[in-house]
Amino acid sequence: MQKLSPAGKDKILETVTGYVEHIVFRNEENGYTVFHLENDDGEVTCVGNLNFISEGEMLELTGEYVNHSVYGTQLKVSSYTVKEPEDLISIERYLGSGAIKGVGEALAGRIVKKFKKDTFRIIEEEPERLAEIKGISERKAREIAVQVEEKKDMRKAMIYLQKYGISTKLAAKIYQYYGMRVYKVLEENPYQLADNIEGVGFKTADEIAARIGIHTDSDYRIRSGLFYTLQQAVGEGHIYLPQPVLMQRAGALLGVEIHDIEKHIMDLCIDKKTVMKEEDGEIRVYPAHYYYLELNTAKMLHDLNINCDMPEDLMERRLSKVEKNEQIELDQMQHRAVIESIKHGLLILTGGPGTGKTTTINTMIRFFDSEGMSILLAAPTGRAAKRMTEATGYEAQTIHRLLEVNVNPEEGENAGGFLRNRQNPLEADVVIIDEMSMVDLPLMHALLSAVVPGTRLILVGDVDQLPSVGPGSVLRDIIASEKFPVVTLTRIFRQAGESDIVVNAHKINAGEPVVLDNKSRDFFFLKRQDADTIIGITIMLIQKKLPKYVHASPNEIQVMTPTRKGLLGVERLNTILQRYLNPESPKKNEKEINGRLFREGDKVMQIKNNYQLEWEITTKFGLTVDKGTGIFNGDMGVITEINDYTETIEVEFDEARKVKYGYDMTEELELAYAITVHKSQGSEYPAVIIPLLQGPRLLYTRNLLYTAVTRAKKCLTIVGSDAVFQEMIQNKNEQERYTSLAQRIREYKDPF
């Protein structure tokens, strides 16, 4: 019996036996299946995680009957057993059901007629005898036997894996990866699973190892635990861990005292998995890949920093000419920034909202353009690139698109994920990158690999925003190294100074209290203490108040929250907001997939980089005018069609790019009526609503609040606790990241 999920005590469980008549839908990854079962009482629609079942098979199912609003009565399967067909009719039916390719009803009838109850034994033990039947060649006999055998192997392996507490979903993944090697892998070194199978963490591998009887202090377990701890740290944004921190974290994970940690780390170093370095009186342990990324990034930054030999008075004259022609007025710092960008091969321009970064970039573009130089503009996300295009009048693109992504650069150490690299660099005199605070170390390394010395690289960003989601703190470290020209803009320009969003953002950043008297035109604080009241006000604002106020559709108004879980977390908010902002309607198709409901008209977000996903732009008559690949983490769109026949969901993203997702790919999508502040980086919205009640201090920080506030263009409304708001301004507890790019830059010596 294959158990799927614990059934609740109050549920009435039924047992049903019958044949799989038709499989309606199957998710290959997790085994989620919808199928029709034929039994004595007619046809039953069944749903559940059932791996490797085929049409025609006889199953004994246990589950409860549930009523689906669209599909009517269904049996929600909690456990199942594959039954051998018992009588001749059953055997014939199974063979002729399409479960075995090349055997139809007529042929199945002839096989059973000849071998009767011995049919399965003959197929398994003496398959050559099938050739005695008219219409079956020896080759076909072997093919039939192989298919029966394959299924058998698969089923045996699945049962074996489930013995160690592995769910059917994971067992399917493991079998797909290892095949029949699975037994050897598990008995020798189950920790391999954590390296090779997505979804198997160290903890799962560890549970299996414990059941198999591998000792808790085995060297293999400790090494695996140490490396896993480092990988977890990368997921938190760190590039290395100090040895004591690594020891403490890994010890807590493994539940054993780690003696002789240096030996284990040295073993990992010998396997080229880690690098150990003594710096500032501490031993640092790096995953090897990230150590070399930092090292190479430092070298490439250094190589770009070439001085220009144009005399300064000539620069000044040419710049004043551009300012005059374009009618641009620069203040002292903006002027300095432009001069520095002409003088040096590398420049960092940083500053908060309203400090004139866009004007400065525009002037640089006009200057380089007047010199006949070619310019490329890019930003980390599609939305940020779009904003850059609107602000400069020059086409900007995502960094991924600029570098011409072709395979997933995140898989393993696939640095060759981009077509633009050392061998095929970008053809430009000037490259300007905006929203640099979002760029992590691997992306920075890929970018620098495609920029040849002699090209000017200008990095623009706001260092006080949240750090990148990925590992490293690139912008901060480059500035901290003090090896490259940095210009910081601090003056708030008059126009921006009239906006309380900008003024208050700077106050938050400086740790100054913000007056919440609602006398503002664009910064509002509605004091409420109850989560459901806050949600009610949020819905009212989106539906009634804000669209007219900011001249935008409800879909353009963004709810932002610090957390995923909890009463005001993304997950709960999205479920409620979907109900009110895009209610059920006979005119809208909807589909529940793995417990999540999608409906036509829903606002959704892509939550992981997918480099292979195809998009196209079509005319209203369906003619394709452009197509390409790649939809990235944070891209937002609207569901335009749910098609049960083709089992696809169509989403339209920015710039009218349409993408078709198979039902099995929808785990890459989530509702986006509400998003986390982290996901909002690089985007701006006409209006932003932030529901705010007490939450984890580690998360509720000044730079999170500052990032959230600066996402609003015309109107920001915070609904919730003013005490929490003021606490966040005072909470400077940024999660310090262990990175050493600044050091690598400072250490770098010219080899000549």
Q: Burial of 236 by CB count in 10 Å (0-12 exposed, 13-18 middle, 19+ buried)?
A: exposed
10-residue block means of pLDDT along the chain (752 residues)?
Answer: 49 84 78 84 86 76 85 86 71 68 80 83 81 84 78 69 68 80 80 76 79 78 87 91 91 82 86 88 92 95 88 86 85 91 94 91 92 94 87 91 76 64 92 94 95 95 89 95 94 77 92 88 93 94 93 93 92 94 92 90 90 86 86 88 91 90 90 93 91 88 93 94 92 85 86 48
Residue 412 pLDDT: 46
Task: Enumerate residues 6+ apart whose C-beta is below 8 A from 188.
Answer: none
Instruction: Kindly state the helix (H) or strand (E) to which residue 279 belongs, with its residue range.
Output: strand 274-279
Is 31:50 a contact under the CB 8 Å cutoff? yes
Is 549:688 a contact under the CB 8 Å cutoff? no
Is 432:364 a contact under the CB 8 Å cutoff? yes
Q: Are strands 610-618 and 624-631 parallel, antiparallel or unpaired?
A: antiparallel
If phi over 0 gives left and psi between -120 and 50 gives alpha, with beta otherwise, what is residue 612?
A: alpha
Residue 541 φ then ψ, to 5° = -65, -45
What's the token pair of residue 535? Answer: 């949600």
- How many Å apart are CA 274 and CA 260, to the nearest integer? 16
Residue 303 pLDDT: 93
Residue 7 pLDDT: 43
What's the token pair of residue 179? Answer: 């095949």
Residue from 85, 99, 80 nearest 168 by CA = 80
Characterize 639-670 residue by residue with b for buried, 16 or more Cβ atoms within 10 angstroms of its Cβ, and e for exposed.
Answer: beebeeeebbbbbbbeeebbbbbebbbbebbb
Instruction: Kindly state the helix (H) or strand (E) to which residue 331 belongs, with its residue range.
Output: none
Instruction: Map 631-683 to HEC letters.
Output: ECCCCEEEEEEEECCCCEEEEEEHHHEEEEEEHHHHHHEEECCEEEHHHHCCC
Characterize 610-636 residue by residue with b for buried, 16 or more Cβ atoms within 10 angstroms of its Cβ, and e for exposed.
Answer: bbebebebeeeeeeeeeeeebbbbbbb
What's the token pair of residue 143? Answer: 């093919």
What 3-state class would DSSP assign to 391? helix
Residue 629 pLDDT: 81
What's the token pair of residue 553? Answer: 């559709």
- How many Å apart are CA 357 and CA 519, to the nearest integer? 28
Residue 706 pLDDT: 94
- How many Å apart are CA 194 and CA 192, to the nearest integer? 5
Residue 526 pLDDT: 94
- How many Å apart are CA 254 and CA 226, to the nearest integer? 9
